[in-house]
Amino acid sequence: MRWDGISEFVYVAEYESFTRAAKELGVSTAQVSRQISALEKRLNIKLLYRTTRKVSLTEEGRVFYQHCRGVLDGLDAAEQAVSNLQSKPQGRIKLTAPVTYGEQQLLPLVNDFMVQYSDIEVTAFLSNQKIDLVDGGYDLAIRIGKLSDSTMMAKKLSRRTNFVCAAPAYLEKYGTPHVLSELSQHNCLLGTRDYWHFIDFKETGSRKTDSGKDANKEKNLRVSGTVQYNSGHSLVDAALKGLGIVQLPDYYVQKYLASGALVSLLDNYREPEESIWAVYPHNRHLSPKIRLLVDYLAERLAV
């Protein structure tokens, strides 16, 4: 009896819908509603807010969901182990990733993974905002750069490099900057932030001090220009058309650098490569299908 209503509650919490939960479970909406009402009565706690338009978790419901999700994950893993499902993974994977990286690099590989493993279902939400994996019911997140959340487990998948570059036509007309201070004389094409990342090093030909310590410091340099877009593709287009200088990750500009349509600038000041991570909650059992996807991505994204 202690299991009654648990699956129904978890599905409603994740889909925010009694109707969708019932469809996924293969039962009636009324059955889902009855089971959750009985569960709330047994616990003497209100787990869900219900309106005509939306279903959401109460504070107690969020706590209960986190524990129930872990229990169901463990049960799923146990069933997979005895059914030998690790060789043929199946089920739903819910993940999130940055927008452009997800579109260009990640989801094409996820599609390849699904071709290979036809019983896998994937729900992906692309966002440049940091999403709470536990509250959102996510199995996996792809994140770039330094990880600050110690409650997460992580596996390094790849790395990326930011390039400062411009079209030859722009450089011919306005000149080429050779040191960071010269950027103030140029039209810098901005993204969502008004600063760029660099390594600021002592002009001695060496990146070490006499004591052997690293003399370089990461630096955020404020820049300005006539363009500010929250779209990397649009910034690349502006740079290709000679409107100014841009700083963007390699997956935006690599092919244009290779063809000569863009020229890399200030290479001596280029910041260190940023790591790209697969992140998942430490209290969430990493099921075989998630582990297989993470390993699949790591193998194909490794450089």
**The residue to which tokens 């019932």 are assigned:** 22
The answer to whether the beta carbons of residues 137 and 96 sit under 8 Å apart is: no
pLDDT of residue 275 exceeding 90, the answer is no
| Beta strands 120-126 and 91-97, pairing class | parallel
Contacts of 64 (CB under 8 A, 6+ apart): 9, 43, 45, 47
Mind listing the pLDDT tens digit for each residue in 92-111? Answer: 899 999 888 898 889 999 99
Mind listing the pLDDT tens digit for each residue in 39-71? Answer: 899 889 999 998 877 889 999 989 999 888 888
Beta bridge partners of 199: 218
Instruction: Name which of 142-151, 166-175, 185-194, 242-251 the model is least confident about.
Output: 142-151
Q: What local confidence, expressed as pLDDT, does residue 203 receive?
A: 44
Cα gap 245→150, rounded to integer Å: 36
Q: Where are the alpha helices (DSSP H) in the chain?
A: 6-15, 18-25, 29-43, 59-83, 99-101, 107-116, 133-136, 168-174, 232-240, 250-259, 288-301
Cα gap 242→189, rounded to integer Å: 11
0.75 exceeded by pTM: no
Q: What local confidence, expressed as pLDDT, does residue 131 receive?
A: 84
The answer to whether the beta carbons of residues 215 and 142 sit under 8 Å apart is: no
As a whole number, the mean pLDDT across the chain is 85
The answer to whether the beta carbons of residues 198 and 204 sit under 8 Å apart is: no
pLDDT of residue 28 exceeding 70, the answer is yes
Mind listing the pLDDT tens digit for each residue in 160-215? Answer: 889 999 999 999 999 999 999 999 999 999 988 888 989 876 543 444 433 344 45
- For residues 85 and 71, which has the higher predicted lDDT (pLDDT)? 71
Beta bridge partners of 274: 160
